[in-house]
Structure 1
Amino acid sequence: MGEHCTTDRPTPAGQTPSGEITKFHDVDTYITKPADYPHSPARLLLLLTGGTGVHSTNNQLQADKYASEGYVVVMPDQFGGDAAPTTTTSVAADENPSLIEQVKLGMATVAKSFTIDMWLARHTPEKVLPILMKVLDAVKEEFADAVANGDGIYAVGYCFGAKYVLLLGAELHRDVAAGQRAPEAEAEEGMVKQGPRIKCGAIAHGTLIGKEDLEGVSVPMCVVAVKDDPLFLDHVRDEGKKAMESKGLKHEVRVYEGVPHGFAVLGDYADAKIVEAQKEAFGQMLAWLKGH
């Protein structure tokens, strides 16, 4: 995972979240709704974040944007109160750092990498999927009207959360969904798979995604990607796209150039090109949801 997955950009000036944190089966969950809900019908949207998690102001504002477009948005704490450690460093990195500064910076980079690796080891599908299943079971009942209006649950995922939108959009064995076995581990003979938990999905610059995650998807899927992204490799994306094409699955893949991994997550950038791409990515994902 990169810095954009674990560190928020500056929050857009003058914006404050409009939703609230509540609990579903003891899982902190940010809920935000259209201003006229429940007097007007809405659809239910599951939003899965990057490493900054449910308490990030930027993630909450991102959820609010979808709510303003007619979705009851459910954003669960998939990390169980253990959001990713920040990747920022206090070591100055000027144009000509001294040898000592270079060593310090190198040591800080190694330490950050180790810390993130340890954090990722605590948040595997075996840990995350049961959290998501508990929340989904609860919100399907709490917002049954929105589920019915949309004929199912929609989902968007950014960075870390993108992988789990793919998993929720696939048929999983019961023990995988329950966190008793890793998705890639061999299943017991005769074990039956359960259908996907979502109706439609959209992901942006995913991390920890293998081609098997894209190959397993069985619901319409939109993919926002970054060219030459070291965290979502081009060949993985291309092989996944071929797999979706081969089984006739509705999909859309758009590759954005000249932007960093994490660009689609709400936050201020000085570069106008990135700002525009962020708007385009949101529009792409929103149009995909509304079209399905």
Structure 2
Amino acid sequence: MSSQTIAPNSGISDCCLSGHLHVGNPIGQEEALGGMTTYTTGDVKNKNKSILFITDIFGYHLTNTRLLADEYAKAGFYVYVPDLFDGDYVPEYVLDVVAPKDTAPPKSFTEKALSTAKAPFDLGPWVVKHREAVSLPLIKNAVEAIRADPATGKLGAVGFCWGGRYAILLAHAGSQVDAAVAHHPSFLGLPDDVEPVAKPLAVTVGDKDSMLDQKGVAQLKEILTSKAGVPSEVTVYPGAHHGFTVRGDLNNETEREQKEQAAEQTIAWMRKYL
């Protein structure tokens, strides 16, 4: 594999690219949804409680993502995970390169990249290619395609990192989504992205997340709690890094428990509002 360089102004921090690969055998299948290849999982009789799963930058193909979608399906939902990047997701080998180690001396992302033969993906062009003007219409197209199925009842959106912000956008007034959960959202614009929220919204974030610091969390809480009649909750996980709900180290007891707790929180939220 040829060496690539990191775009220093890509807008994505080290923690966006960090994490651990999970091991398992996803049980769903692939089908077409609104012109996009989509991983679907669950019993079709559960389409009355459907979930649109909006991935992080590693895309719909990542085993972690599919296994988590399967967890939601086993809890009684029908889950759609569309390939919003048309195959252009950040390659999973990046996770092998950049897994966070709190005990090691801090290294910049570029230093870690240069120390291995598998140099990570060039993110600058990727961010531009998958900007909101391109991605949001695809996400809305997925919502419309799910809604076009007469078996669909309530619909929730669950987003992670890159997808977390879009889950919040789908909780705005006028959306065809009934409830949303955003896990450690990236690039969240405060207050503009949150002020229009009018659907039940839960947000999880770690207190070591550099993409949404504690000042931003406080502002997020203030905006959401001011919305009379709109259910919301913001949960801060102590010691957790960005991506912990889907890319945590399952061999680490704390990280595994936090990942499981976030999944249970998501399931409980969707059971309540779907």
Range into which the TM-score falls when normalised by the shorter chain: 0.7 to 0.9
8 Å Cα contact 2:245/2:263 also seen in 1: yes
5 Å matches for 1:115-154? Answer: 115-142=122-149, 144-147=150-153, 150=154, 153-154=155-156
DSSP-derived class of the 1:74 partner: strand
Distance 1:224 1:24, change over 3 A: same
CA shift, 1:119, in A, is 1.2
DSSP-derived class of the 2:180 partner: strand
Unaligned 5+ segments in structure 2 are 1-11
Distance 1:242 1:17, change over 3 A: same
8 Å Cα contact 2:26/2:67 also seen in 1: yes
Unaligned 5+ segments in structure 1 are 172-194
Distance 1:145 1:205, change over 3 A: same
CA shift, 1:268, in A, is 4.1
Looking at structure 2, the residues matched to 48 and 41 of structure 1 have their Cα atoms a distance apart, in angstroms, of: 17
Q: Which amino acid aligns with 2:40?
A: I
Q: Residue 36 of structure 2 corresponds to which residue in structure 1?
A: 27
8 Å Cα contact 2:30/2:40 also seen in 1: yes
Looking at structure 1, the residues matched to 112 and 165 of structure 2 have their Cα atoms a distance apart, in angstroms, of: 30
Distance 1:113 1:242, change over 3 A: farther
CA shift, 1:64, in A, is 0.7
8 Å Cα contact 2:185/2:211 also seen in 1: yes
Q: Residue 182 of structure 1 corresponds to which residue in structure 2?
A: none
8 Å Cα contact 1:46/1:154 also seen in 2: yes
5 Å matches for 1:127-206? Answer: 127-142=134-149, 144-147=150-153, 150=154, 153-171=155-173, 195-206=174-185
CA shift, 1:133, in A, is 1.9
CA shift, 1:164, in A, is 0.5
Moved more, 267-276 or 202-211: 267-276
Q: Residue 271 of structure 2 corresponds to which residue in structure 1?
A: 290
1:233 aligned onto 2:244: no
Distance 1:206 1:199, change over 3 A: same
RMSD: 3.0
Q: Residue 185 of structure 1 corresponds to which residue in structure 2?
A: none
CA shift, 1:127, in A, is 0.4
Q: Residue 43 of structure 1 corresponds to which residue in structure 2?
A: 49
8 Å Cα contact 1:163/1:208 also seen in 2: yes
CA shift, 1:10, in A, is 2.7
Select the residue among 79, 85, 90 that pairs with 1:84.
90
CA shift, 1:284, in A, is 1.2
8 Å Cα contact 1:62/1:266 also seen in 2: no
Select the residue among 202, 215, 218 that pairs with 1:222.
202
TM-score (norm 2): 0.82
Moved more, 263-272 or 211-220: 263-272
Looking at structure 1, the residues matched to 247 and 145 of structure 2 have their Cα atoms a distance apart, in angstroms, of: 27
Looking at structure 2, the residues matched to 10 and 95 of structure 1 have their Cα atoms a distance apart, in angstroms, of: 20
Distance 1:253 1:221, change over 3 A: same
CA shift, 1:3, in A, is 5.2
8 Å Cα contact 1:159/1:204 also seen in 2: yes
CA shift, 1:129, in A, is 1.1
Identity percentage of aligned residues: 27
Looking at structure 2, the residues matched to 274 and 107 of structure 1 have their Cα atoms a distance apart, in angstroms, of: 24
8 Å Cα contact 2:181/2:202 also seen in 1: yes
DSSP-derived class of the 1:225 partner: strand
Q: Residue 174 of structure 1 corresponds to which residue in structure 2?
A: none
Q: Which amino acid aligns with 1:163?
A: R
Distance 1:196 1:16, change over 3 A: same
Distance 1:5 1:77, change over 3 A: farther
Looking at structure 1, the residues matched to 184 and 37 of structure 2 have their Cα atoms a distance apart, in angstroms, of: 25
DSSP-derived class of the 2:181 partner: strand
CA shift, 1:115, in A, is 1.8
Looking at structure 1, the residues matched to 242 and 195 of structure 2 have their Cα atoms a distance apart, in angstroms, of: 22
Distance 1:41 1:49, change over 3 A: closer
Q: Residue 225 of structure 2 corresponds to which residue in structure 1?
A: 245
Looking at structure 2, the residues matched to 10 and 41 of structure 1 have their Cα atoms a distance apart, in angstroms, of: 29
Looking at structure 1, the residues matched to 26 and 137 of structure 2 have their Cα atoms a distance apart, in angstroms, of: 27
Q: Which has the larger radius of gyration?
A: 1
Looking at structure 2, the residues matched to 10 and 67 of structure 1 have their Cα atoms a distance apart, in angstroms, of: 21
CA shift, 1:236, in A, is 1.8
